[in-house]
């Protein structure tokens, strides 16, 4: 499992999250957006993907939907990273870290959002096979 460790802006707390972002007009679908974000944020390519969690959060007049996918990391080259997240000083440090696929390793992270952390803790052992 890979996650990105980011400074939490003004709060200064360190937390981990997954690669993420929005679907851009040039993205054919969610999977295309995922592959673009993975390349931008961690300079990686991934194999086949499977969606494992969807979170929906109403925010006033809009609703934010977050899709989480499981995929094998095929290759990663940090020199290929690019995008607005890396250029924005308000995001803090934004570095990929490797995390063992085990309950103790995941539990040691401040994985956000909490719903994602709960789901991963409940399923990470099964993903190891």
| pLDDT(129) > 70 | no
Taking the C-alpha atoms of residue 76 and residue 37, their distance in angstroms, rounded to an integer, is 13
pLDDT band at 8 (very low <50, low <70, confident <90, very high): very low
Taking the C-alpha atoms of residue 104 and residue 102, their distance in angstroms, rounded to an integer, is 6
| Mean pLDDT for the stretch of residues 48-74 | 95
The confidence score (pLDDT) of residue 75 equals 97
Taking the C-alpha atoms of residue 52 and residue 126, their distance in angstroms, rounded to an integer, is 13
pLDDT band at 4 (very low <50, low <70, confident <90, very high): low
| Mean pLDDT for the stretch of residues 1-19 | 63
Looking at the chain, the whole-number percentage of residues with pLDDT higher than 70 is 87
Q: Identify whether the C-beta of residue 51 lies closer than 8 Å to the C-beta of residue 68.
A: yes
Chain center to CA of 105: 16
State whether residue 2 is helix, strand or coil: strand
| 78-111 confidence digits (pLDDT tens) | 999 987 777 777 766 778 888 888 999 999 999 9
């Amino acid at each position: 499992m890979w996650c990105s460790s980011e400074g939490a802006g003004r709060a200064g707390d360190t937390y981990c999250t997954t690669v993420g972002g929005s679907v851009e007009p040039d993205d054919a679908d969610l999977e295309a957006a995922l592959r673009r974000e993975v390349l931008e944020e961690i300079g990686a390519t991934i194999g086949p993907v499977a969606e494992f969690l969807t979170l929906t959060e109403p925010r006033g007049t809009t609703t934010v939907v977050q899709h989480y996918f499981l995929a094998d990391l095929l290759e990663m080259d940090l020199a290929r990273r690019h995008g607005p997240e890396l250029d924005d000083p308000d995001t803090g440090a934004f570095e990929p870290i490797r995390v063992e696929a085990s309950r103790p390793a995941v539990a040691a992270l401040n994985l956000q959002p909490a719903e994602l952390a709960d789901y991963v803790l409940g399923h990470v052992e099964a993903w190891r096979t």
